Each structure stands twice: as structure tokens, then as C-alpha cells.
A and B are shown apart, each in its own frame.
Chain A
Amino acid sequence: MVRYTEEELLQLQPDVEVPVNFDIDSFRAIIDKVKEIQGFQEEEYQHFHRRRSSHHHGKPKIKHLKPKIKTDSDGWSTFDNNARRKSSVAAGSAGALNSSDEEVAVKEPASIAQETLKVKPNKNISSTKPADARDIVTDKAVNNFNAFAALESDEEDD
């Protein structure tokens, strides 16, 4: 059996390009074409399977801010409201006002703005249907007429 080691075979490797016995250009062209098609297919897949920002159905999202708790030297822990207001842009501009009443009035909406509430709009608001399902319960008659109770009360009157 004829054998060649890896080293022997590497020594026989030509330094120059040697022509081959088949149509290498056609072979390369097939590979390039397949790569091109795969590239298009991948692009198409990415386009149809990309994550969309509109996927927020279901519960409204409420962004709660974590209250800052300050612990003093005696070990008492208190909520730190000031730290929250400092971070607000609205509160910063209100600092220029002189009146303390006005300052509170301006600062208040700023603290509300800290929490974002996203609510789905009610589609029934302009129709004849109640806007809120709880309204159906509240509109209902609470007391029903009880015929036996009415008869009893008549006898007592007599």
C-alpha cells in the first residue's frame, strides 16, 4: 500500500496554481449564488420576525418608583421625599419662586409625573353601553317589592 505522511504530502504541495480537471468557475458560481440566496432569505426572516414595540397588550403598566428610605443615627427609618423631588426637572424650575404656597402647588404635579400610568382607552365611551361595567350594578334597583311583607304591615295597621 502506498502511504504518505502529512509532512510528505505538504512537501509536494505546489507553489503555483495548477489547473484542475473540471469547471472550477461554474462550481464557484454555484456556491456564490447559494450564498446570495441564503443572504436574502436571512434578511427576509429577520424582517418578518423582528420584535415590535407594539406588543404591550394586557394589563396597563404602572411604573412605580422605589421610595428612598433614610435611616438616621438613632436607627429610625423615614421616607425621603426630598430626594425624589430633587430629581424632577419641574421641581428644579419651581425653586426660583418666593412664595412657599406657590412652591407646593408647582411641586405637587411634579411628584405625580414620577409615576407613569398607561391605560387602555375604553371603546364603549361613545356608545349606549355603560362606560364602566360597575355602572350596571349601581343602576339596578336595590329594594325589591315583597308581597308577604306588605300584607303583614297592613294587618298591623288595622
Chain B
Amino acid sequence: MSVEEVTQQTQDLNIEKPSTVLSSEKEFQLKHPLNSKWTLWYTKPAVDKSESWSDLLRPVTSFETVEEFWAIHNAIPKPRYLPFKSDYHLFRNDIRPEWEDPANSLGGKWTHQFWGKTPDIDDLWMRALLAVIGETIDEDDSQINGVVINIRKSAYKIAIWTKSADQKEALTKIGSKFKTVLKLGDDTQLEFLPHSTASEKHPQPSLVL
């Protein structure tokens, strides 16, 4: 083959650039869907005695994609900035963050209390959120209903709410992963409290890790 022929063939070649998300306007707008819709709730601390629980607990917004999650997470105040007696709740679909909700009534929660200032609480809360929305804390079935952070004067409490309270094996797996997410050592306890005992004065955990 002569040099002219090679040159001609090279010019005839139509090498297309590899297609990426960035190369297409439509693909660029593509969002990463989550397994389910999540709703963020906020409990405003009572500043007036006339305010009831239903007045204080309000849904803030919902999201269904990773991009929407980041937009919301980066915009809202972090737990360390929130006033005392505030709570953030992130719950699946339209589940209300209450024991009375049918999706929660037979369930319970893995909970841990961080006493004192806990400088890395914002990071721990973000890790808990990512584990829940990414569904990596659940192995098989989606046992997780939501995740909650309570901001109190002397402590922060992070809890993961499950839809059942009697599936010991599945709950233990979730608890072990949650312990890793919260960076808890072997000397620190994580307790599982069924919602059925929540109204007791001193509820005893049914599982401890």
C-alpha cells in the first residue's frame, strides 16, 4: 500500500469520540436514582407551652436521587448548629417518624448516645445517612425505615429504625454494620429497643452489641 493510499484511508476513517455523560446534554442531566423516596423531617424545639408535638414535627422535603440528597444535605444546617431539643428524621417514603405509624409499630431501633460535645457528630450523622440511603446497611430485605438524630444539651443520639423487632439474626447484622458506621469500638454498647417498650419508664434493650 502506497503512502497516498494510507493517507486516503485514514481520512476516510470516522473515529467517533467515546460517549460519556459529559458528551451529551441529556446524559449530563442524568441523575442517580435511589432505591426509594426519602423524606426529611425536622422537630422544632418547643419555645412556647402551647405548641404540641404535631406542631413541632414537620416534613421538610423529599428526594429520590443521589444528587437531590447532596443538594439538600449541603444546604441544611448541620447537627452541631441546630438548637437543643431539635431532631432530624430521614424516613422512607411516607412513613412518619412516630411509633404509632403502622410501618413502625412492630419495629424498634438501634440506638447510641454520644455524651458530651462529640466534635465529629456531623460526620457520623452523614455516614449514617449514606449507609441508609445507599442501602448498604441492609443485606437482603429492606428492614430499615429511617434514621434519626436527637440534639440534646448533654448528648447527641443517633438511632436507626427498623420495621421489625423480632428478627434477631437480621437485626444483629444491621446492628453490627451500624456500629461500624458510627465508628464505635468494642467497648461501646449499641442497644436495640423495641418500640413496644418505648412508653415504659426505663425500657430495657432486647439486644445489645
Chain A residues near B (Cβ < 8 Å): 1-6, 8-10, 12-14, 17-22, 24, 27-28, 30-31, 34-35, 37-38, 41
CB distance from A22 to the nearest CB of B (A): 4
Q: Is the Cβ of A12 less than 8 Å from the Cβ of B135?
A: no
Give the contacting residue for A6; candidates B74, B84, B136; CB below 8 A.
B136
Q: Is the Cβ of A4 less than 8 Å from the Cβ of B70?
A: no
CB distance from B68 to the nearest CB of A (A): 7
Chain B residues near A (Cβ < 8 Å): 32-35, 42, 44-45, 47, 60-61, 63, 66-72, 74-77, 81-84, 86, 127, 130-131, 133-136, 142
Q: Is the Cβ of B82 less than 8 Å from the Cβ of A18?
A: no
Q: Is the Cβ of A35 less than 8 Å from the Cβ of B83?
A: yes
Report 13 cross-chain contacts, Cβ distance below 8 Å, ordered by A residue: A1-B135, A2-B33, A2-B35, A3-B135, A3-B136, A4-B133, A5-B134, A12-B66, A14-B67, A14-B71, A18-B70, A34-B86, A38-B84
Could you tell me the distance between the alpha carbons of A56 and B116 in the complex, rounded to whole angstroms?
35
Q: Is the Cβ of B127 less than 8 Å from the Cβ of A20?
A: no
CB distance from A35 to the nearest CB of B (A): 5
Q: Is the Cβ of A28 less than 8 Å from the Cβ of B77?
A: yes
Beyond A1-B135, A5-B136, whether A18 also contacts B32 by CB under 8 A is no
Q: Is the Cβ of A17 less than 8 Å from the Cβ of B74?
A: yes
Q: Is the Cβ of B82 less than 8 Å from the Cβ of A3?
A: no
- Looking at A19, A20, A35, A37, the one whose CB has the most chain B CB atoms below 10 A away is A20
Q: Is the Cβ of B75 less than 8 Å from the Cβ of A20?
A: yes
- Chain A residues with Cβ below 8 Å from B44 are 30, 34
Q: Which residue of A lies closest to B65 (CB)?
A: A12
- Chain B residues with Cβ below 8 Å from A38 are 45, 47, 83-84
Could you tell me the distance between the alpha carbons of A13 and B66 in the complex, rounded to whole angstroms?
8
- Chain B residues with Cβ below 8 Å from A17 are 74-75
- Chain A residues with Cβ below 8 Å from B130 are 4, 6, 9-10
Could you tell me the distance between the alpha carbons of A8 and B133 in the complex, rounded to whole angstroms?
12
Q: Is the Cβ of B142 less than 8 Å from the Cβ of A4?
A: no
